[in-house]
């Protein structure tokens, strides 16, 4: 890094999944080694990265329109005598490659998810050679070459951190582009994951979110010489001093093995919340999707999870209007939503992805029907989410505080069930896990009041009930106790 000139500035915009958020941080870390600092706005950036998502149509379209807008920014930078390097990363980069260079003249470099460790070199090459594309699946492990974040970078990113443990997918659902853009399943070794988690907690992180496209297919060789599954890894990570909370996402129903379900019973640090996409409630459609599980198998997994951890908050993904989906198939999906009672769920209209088997089906569902089904499904999901949230009112739960809240004097954090909770609290609670009495529900979040050891809330919460007696935990949950549970558990 040159000491004589101002640091070059980097702006990364992330679309789509949590793995993209993680990858964006890794890109920032690898460029930090070259002297780049992150800037909060694209206006003064020297390098601008769009970390894209290809999972559904609109996401890629958004990237192209964003690139259109960036032309103006690049011209303005040139007028000021600055060079703005525009990079497209992520799954659109992987899928479209050269096509991006053809369609968007503003782009200097296209980099696929397996090549982020080469970013500094690619930026340098783009400056000298002109536009470059790197969408290889290199033999070397990119994780070996990606930089670890500095303590300061980790601290600035908050008390909950992602750790990629697994990448890629071998399931080949017929609607999905992931096996093509992220490649075959790959599990990171135990020692690397452990080292990363230890670094994160040393910098103050309290909650570790293990991520992977198919995270519960993770496997590795344990230091005990045995083959480890995700369950074993979770038990090990729960022993790391300072790891107060663990979550993992996204899982496939087929890979929810007995040990993983037992981990939800045994590990207080493993939060009572699981995202387990089902996509459809119809066996006919699940089969056409090549999901490798049927409705009954999914419901059995849910039942066992609820036995292991009765208060578990389940969430899921749904696709409506998959080719050939009839009204009967769709009502099977609605019935499954009622049977599970999801705490939250995402639902999408089927979008044909080029190169995937379902895209070629001549049995496509009309746009109007997709829109109508989506609205009905979302209403049903919202109903159950509201019921789940309402059931937490009056309870006391640990909240990990993350950011300033919606209003002055408020801080917002996450409940064990992943609900956002707005609480009147001083900024100093950021990064702490504190007991909160849930007092009400709002749009997209809950309201709560801090509980202290003698049972009084130290700060007023507007309009809230200031009950002084902590309630018992949700049925079946370990007693969250009235305590400041920062660090450890």
Q: Which residues contact residue 122 at a Cβ distance below 8 angstroms, ignoring those fewer than 6 apart? A: 87, 109, 111, 115, 132, 134
Burial 331-353 (b: 16+ CB within 10 A, else e): ebbbebbeebebbbbebbbbbeb
Q: Please choose which of ligand 5AD, ligand SF4, none residue 430 contacts, taking the beta carbon within 5 to 8 angstroms, the exact cut-off set by kind.
A: none
Shortest gap between Cβ of 247 and ligand SF4 (angstroms)?
A: 18
In whole angstroms, give the CA distance from residue 412 to residue 220.
36
Cα 307 to the center of its chain, rounded Å: 26
Residue 319 vs 411, nearer CB to ligand SF4: 319
Interaction partner, residue 24 (ligand 5AD, ligand SF4, none; CB < 5-8 Å by kind)? none
- Selected from 49, 77, 91, 178, the binder of ligand SF4 by CB under 6 A is 178
Q: Which is nearer to ligand SF4, 173 or 336 (CB)?
A: 173
Token code pair at residue 361: 């089906």
88 φ, ψ (degrees, to nearest 5):
-110, 120
Contact 312, 306 (CB under 8 A): yes
Report the alpha-carbon distance of residue 308 to residue 257 in Å, rounded: 13
129 to 188, contacts with ligand 5AD by CB under 6 A? 175-176
Among 50, 100, 176, 485, binds ligand SF4 (CB under 6 A): 176
Tell me how far, at minimum, the Cβ of 198 lies from ligand SF4, in Å: 29
CB of 404 to ligand 5AD, least distance (A): 29
Return the structure tokens found at 462. 């507007």
From the CB of 219, what's the least distance to ligand SF4, in Å?
16
When asked if residue 395 is in the footprint of ligand 5AD (CB under 6 A), the reply is no
Structure-derived torsion over alpha carbons of residues 387, 375, 90, 19, reported in degrees to the nearest 10: 10
**Whether 275 contacts 249, CB under 8 Å:** yes
Per-residue binding letters, 223-252, with ligand SF4 (x by CB under 6 A): -----------------------------x
Distance, in Å, from the CA atom of 257 to the CA atom of 437, rounded to the nearest integer, reads 34
Closer residue to ligand 5AD (CB): 235 or 350: 350
Q: How far is the CB of 111 from ligand 5AD (least distance, A)?
A: 22
CB of 322 to ligand 5AD, least distance (A): 8
Give the tokens for residue 398.
């640990």
CB of residue 347 vs ligand 5AD: minimum separation in angstroms?
8
Beta-strand pair 433-441/273-275: unpaired
Q: Give the one residue of 171, 192, 304, 483 binding ligand SF4; rule: CB under 6 A.
A: 171
CA distances for 329 relative to 112, 172, 286, 299, angstroms? 37, 21, 10, 16
Considering only 13, 56, 62, 155, the residue that binds ligand 5AD (CB under 6 A) is 56
Residues that bind ligand 5AD (CB under 6 A): 55-56, 175-176, 277, 279, 317, 319, 348, 350-351, 353
Residues that bind ligand SF4 (CB under 6 A): 169, 171-173, 176, 178-179, 213-214, 252
């Amino acid at each position: 890094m040159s000491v004589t000139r101002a640091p070059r500035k980097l702006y990364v915009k992330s679309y789509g999944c949590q793995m993209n958020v993680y990858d964006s941080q890794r890109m920032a870390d690898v460029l930090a080694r070259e002297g780049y600092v992150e800037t909060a706005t694209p206006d003064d950036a020297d390098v601008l990265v769009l970390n894209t998502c290809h999972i559904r149509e609109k996401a890629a379209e958004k990237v192209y329109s964003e690139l259109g807008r960036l032309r103006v920014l690049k011209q303005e930078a040139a007028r000021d005598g600055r060079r703005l390097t525009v990079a497209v990363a992520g799954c659109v980069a992987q899928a479209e490659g050269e096509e991006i260079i053809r369609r968007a003249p503003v782009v200097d470099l296209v980099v696929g998810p397996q090549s982020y460790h080469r970013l500094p070199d690619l930026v340098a090459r783009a400056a000298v050679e002109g536009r470059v594309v790197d969408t290889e699946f290199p033999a070397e492990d990119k994780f070996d070459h990606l930089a670890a974040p500095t303590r300061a970078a980790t601290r600035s990113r908050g008390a909950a951190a992602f750790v990629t443990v697994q990448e890629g997918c071998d399931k080949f659902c017929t609607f999905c582009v992931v096996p093509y853009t992220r490649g075959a399943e790959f599990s990171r070794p135990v020692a690397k994951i452990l080292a990363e988690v230890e670094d994160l907690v040393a910098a103050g992180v309290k909650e570790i979110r293990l991520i992977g496209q198919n995270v519960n297919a993770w496997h590795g060789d344990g230091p005990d010489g045995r083959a480890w599954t995700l369950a074993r890894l979770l038990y090990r990570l729960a022993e790391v001093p300072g790891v107060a909370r663990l979550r993992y996402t996204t899982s496939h129903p087929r890979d929810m093995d007995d040990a993983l379900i037992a981990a939800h019973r045994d590990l207080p640090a493993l939060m009572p919340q699981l995202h387990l996409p089902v996509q459809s409630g119809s066996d006919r459609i699940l089969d056409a999707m090549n999901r490798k599980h049927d409705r009954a198998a999914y419901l059995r997994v849910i039942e066992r999870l609820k036995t292991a951890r009765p208060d578990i908050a389940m969430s899921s993904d749904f696709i409506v209007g998959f080719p050939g989906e009839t009204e009967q198939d769709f009502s099977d999906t609605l019935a499954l939503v009622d049977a599970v009672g999801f705490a939250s769920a995402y639902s999408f209209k089927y979008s044909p992805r080029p190169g995937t088997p379902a895209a070629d089906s001549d049995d496509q569902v009309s746009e109007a029907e997709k829109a109508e089904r989506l609205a009905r499904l979302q209403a049903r999901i919202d109903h159950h989410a509201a019921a789940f949230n309402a059931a937490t009112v009056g309870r006391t739960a640990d909240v990990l505080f993350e950011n300033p809240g919606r209003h002055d004097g408020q801080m917002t954090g996450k409940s064990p069930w992943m609900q956002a909770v707005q609480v009147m609290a001083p900024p100093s609670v950021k990064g702490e896990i504190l007991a909160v009495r849930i007092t009400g529900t709002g749009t997209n979040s809950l309201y709560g009041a801090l509980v202290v050891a003698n049972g009084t809330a130290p700060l007023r919460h507007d309009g809230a009930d200031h009950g002084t007696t902590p309630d018992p935990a949700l049925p079946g949950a370990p007693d969250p106790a009235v305590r400041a549970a920062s660090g450890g558990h």
